[in-house]
Amino acid sequence: MKKNVIITIGRQFGSGGHEVGKRLSDRLGIPLYDRNLIQMATKEMGLLPDQSDEGQLSKEVFQIQSDLIRKLADKEPCIIIGRCADYILEGRHTCLNAFVYAEIRDRIHRIMRIYNLNEEEAWEKIKKTDAERKEYYEKHTGNTWGSIESHQMLFNVSLMDIQDVVDTLAAMYRARR
């Protein structure tokens, strides 16, 4: 019997973690969930996506998102980017928890290219986004964002190509099924 293997991917902003998830989703033919979980949660709350202030509704949105993540994990194999999914699905033996990071110079260049920013603007965007992700994760989990204690695997894409990360996670996914 095949199992619902779930891959969770935490990531630093600009590391390429979302790209890893997208490529992996395409390769394995399984759904990818990311910011769309916020939209799904606010819809379940009866709000329009632009009505939700994630900060104001943080506790409610987090609880509904958590319930959605558990339902999705029970329903089918999938990849979940961020949203504290590693914490929410803690203890499931069919869950692979990865964290993608990169050297700051590589992250700055990636953000400059993607968002058409200069170096200073990219650096500011990275600092702001990483601070928000860290605060969100630690507030809801009590764990340290990006730590080895919260993730089975840490991938430095400055040393390992994004495609190699995808290949590694795909092989691990297949081994767990």
pLDDT tens digit sequence for 25-79? 999 999 999 987 777 766 777 665 554 444 546 788 788 889 999 999 999 999 9
pLDDT at 51: 46
Query: 91: which residues sit within 8 A by CB, 6+ positions away?
Result: none
Token reading at 148: 């080895």
Return left, alpha or beta for 84; rule: phi > 0 is left, psi -120 to 50 is alpha, else beta.
left
Report helix, strand or coil for 98: strand
**Is 144 a residue whose pLDDT tops 70?**
yes
pTM (predicted TM-score): 0.90
Tell the residue number behind the tokens 């767990």, with chain if given: 176
pLDDT at 168 over 50: yes
Q: What is the per-residue pLDDT across 92-101, written as a single tens digit (0 to 9) for each?
A: 889 999 999 9
